[in-house]
Structure 1
Amino acid sequence: MPSLMEENFKMTHSDEYDPLITNQEGNSDVNPDAVPYEEALKQTGYGRFHYKVLALCGWAVSSDAIEVLSVSFLLPAASCDLDIGSTDKGWLNAIVFIGMLLGGYFWGSLADHQGRRSILMWSLTVNGLGVLASSVVQTFWAFLLCRFISGIGVGGSIPVIFSYFTEFQPKEKRGMMISALATFWMCGNIIAAGKIAHLELISDC
């Protein structure tokens, strides 16, 4: 069965919910059943639902960390396979951040108007498609383009994840839970570094 937090979230995000009611004179009065947002979070309690959100958002944060740092870790070991010089290495490292710069503005604006959950899913999808395409392309410029597309997705998911996650946290636990979510970035760093270390061991270069 859905938790009280999930039920309240669905209710407040439905088209029928309105914190204002209209009296017979046509004036808007405050709905007597409405409560401040912070009080609503407190009344719904804290439990399993919040930890599920932490796990899912943390998974996305870890994947973003791996995506941002993977090329930086990979280039020293893969230079001979890619046959690229210093300038090309610099572009590969920078292009994902250029994509993040553009994607952060684009996705952030959409999230404020279309809702954070749907935009988060779309930005993660763009990131995933960019990663999938970059794993099969055969030329440097195609790989660079795929990295740029991936950066656009990452630029949307990182800020939207933290905003979306914070909306569920009551004031008493907000700082602690945001810090817990941020630790998943370090987990992604460790995974990326460990994987690249393994590739260096088996590399013929």
Structure 2
Amino acid sequence: MSNVPVNNGRRRFLTAATAVVGGAGVVGAAVPFIASWNPSARAKAAGAPVEVNVGKMQPGQLIRAEWRGKPVYIVRRSDKTLEELPKHDNRLRDPSSEEPQQPDYAANPYRSIKPEYLVALGVCTHLGCAPTHHNGDFGEFVEGVPNGFFCPCHGSTYDMAGRVFQNVPAPLNLMVPEHSFVNDNTILIGVGQGEA
């Protein structure tokens, strides 16, 4: 046996340093493992559901989201906008949405689950351009209609239910993707109502 005195301070320091380095190693190994649980960019592009918070949206406001590599427009419609929708039905190509451009639960005059929220792909049904949302100045494209969507590429026009007007290149209403409400403030795009 050696008569060298034991340095307890050094022993505690080495024990603590080893524990810290070991803990950092565990965290370093765990981060990539836990990150692998999230859907990859490829899975998201292939259709993984996307959650959108609409809790702070104001009437007339549009939020853009991306799902399957395409833009999704979410618009909170005002009561006045909802009242105006049936007033121009006679100027629409498919006012009753008879073409299958929306899920069954959105086959109503508003083309939505909740009347105040329109959820539609922001893709023109003519050649796939991106229509622009016009809130209050849409009358310059369609007389007497204050709000809607205008496709600047070829002049197609849609109302605030995503329904296409007559005498424009677009043949169909905007597509309404599968979606559902997780709660009053969250829309889940990619999962239909009743499927979540």
TM-score, scaled relative to structure 2 = 0.27
The structure, 1 or 2, with the larger RCO (C-alpha pairs under 8 Å, 6+ apart) is 1
Larger Rg: 2
Greater helix content: 1
Greater strand content: 2
